[in-house]
Structures are given as C-alpha cells and as structure tokens.
Amino acid sequence: MNRIALAVLVVVFTACGMPPTETPKTELLAGAQTFYGAFNTGNVQQMTDLLAADFTDHMMSPRPDDGGKANLAYSVGAFKQGYPDLSIVITESWQEGDTLTVFTKVTGTNTGPLFGAPATGKAVSFSTIDVLGFEKGKLKDLHHIEQQYQMFQQLK
C-alpha cells in the first residue's frame, strides 16, 4: 500500500510540477558575502563572476555607464580606491524566496580619491540596505540604499 501511495505522489508531482523550493538562507548569505567581499577587497572579477547574465542594478545613478554590470564594477573600484581599508559587514538579513534583504555597516578611512574628489583622511561609518535577488546562485537583481549624505558629511 505504501508503494502505491508513493507512486501516486510521484505521478502527481510530475504532472503538476514539483512544489517551489526555496534556496537555503545559508546559500543566499554566501552569495551576499561574495558580493560584499568584492567591495572589501576591490576584486572586480569576483563581482563580475557573481552576476547573472541579465543582472540589473535598479539604483538610479549619475555614473557614466549602463547601470548594470559596468556600474557595479565601477563602484567596486571607486570605493576601494577611496577607502583602501573598506569594511562592509552584514548586521542583519531577511529572506523571502530567493531574495535576501540585508542591512550592513560600512566603515573606512578616505585616504584615496573618491569619485574624483581628493582624499580627506577622515574615517566614515554609515549603513546600507540592500535587496539581493538571486537566481541559480547568481545575483540577478540589486536594489540598494546607502546613507551617502551621512558619508559625505563625515568627509567634510
């Protein structure tokens, strides 16, 4: 009897499709750590390898690029140049399906040029909120808000 019930379940799941599975949060956090690790080390290739072919950075930006992969690569390089000791640490995270919402704490000392502005030698500490959408282990969608006003106020 148990074999018949199992066979029926296999037929039902095959006919109707398997129930949706959620990526374990540990896997999403590993992807997020790779994302922030690229910023912390300035490793543009690490960032590029994480991004899906159809990646979209949804942040509106004045940076002179396409708003996608090049935008992110530019940011990785610019932040590492401006803050050689850059540290981005995840402080909280929440999962919804294959999407991870992350709060981070960003610290660093501005000892290099930052987006064309000269170094100030001042330390900064600010937070970000990022929504990272993953698909098959790759970062597909990015929405982010940084406390840029606080960062620039600290650089004065």
Per-residue model confidence as pLDDT tens digits over 83-117 = 999 999 999 999 999 999 999 999 999 999 998 99
29 pLDDT above the threshold of 50: yes
CATH code for the domain of 32? 3.10.450.50
How many independent structural domains does the chain possess? 1
Domain contains 8? no
SS (H, E, C) the chain: CHHHHHHHHHHHHHHHCCCCCCCCHHHHHHHHHHHHHHHHHCCHHHHHHHEEEEEEECCCCCCCCCCCHHHHHHHHHHHHHHCCCCEEEEEEEEEECCEEEEEEEEEEECCCCECCECCCCCEEEEEEEEEEEEECCEEEEEEEEECHHHHHHHHC
Q: What is the pLDDT of residues 59-80, one digit of tens each?
A: 855 544 555 788 888 889 999 9
